[in-house]
Amino acid sequence: MAKVLAGDILDRMARERIRELWLVPGSVPVYRKEDKIEPFSQEKLFPDDIRQILMNFRSRAALHAGTGIGESGSFSFGVRGVGRFRVSYVMQRGSYAVFVFLTGEKPPALDSLAHDFDVLTALRQMMAARDGFILIAGPFNVVNFDFTGAMVDEIIDNSYRVVYTVESPLMYTLRHRKAVAIQCEVGTDVPSVKEGIENAINIAADVLYVSNVPNKEALNTLLKAIEGGRLIIASILSAGVISGLIGLEALAEFPRFYRQKIAYSLLGVFSPKMTQDEPVIEWVKVNDEVRELILTGNYDELKRYLKISGASFSV
3-state SS assignment for residue 77: strand
Fold entry, domain 110-310: Rossmann fold (3.40.50)
Number of C-beta neighbours around residue 115 at 10 A: 14
What residues does each domain of the chain span? 6-103, 110-310
Domain 6-103: top CATH class: alpha beta
SS3 310: strand
pTM: 0.85
Bridge partners of 256?
none
Rounded distance, CA 96 to CA 87, Å? Answer: 12
CATH topology identical between 6-103 and 110-310: no
Side-chain half-sphere exposure of 166, counting CA atoms within 13 A: 28
Check if the beta carbon of residue 43 is closer than 8 Å to that of residue 4.
yes
Cis peptide before 39 (omega within 30 of 0): no
The three-class DSSP label of residue 194 is helix
| Per-residue model confidence as pLDDT tens for the chain (315 residues) | 457 789 999 999 999 989 899 999 999 999 988 778 999 999 999 999 999 999 999 988 865 545 567 888 888 888 888 988 989 999 988 899 999 999 887 889 999 999 899 999 999 999 999 999 999 998 876 677 889 999 999 999 999 999 999 998 788 888 899 999 999 988 888 899 999 999 999 999 999 999 999 999 999 999 999 888 899 999 998 999 999 999 999 999 899 999 999 999 999 999 998 877 788 999 999 999 999 999 999 999 999 999 999 888 765
Q: Measuring CA to CA, which residue among 159, 160, 161, 136 is closest to residue 148?
A: 136
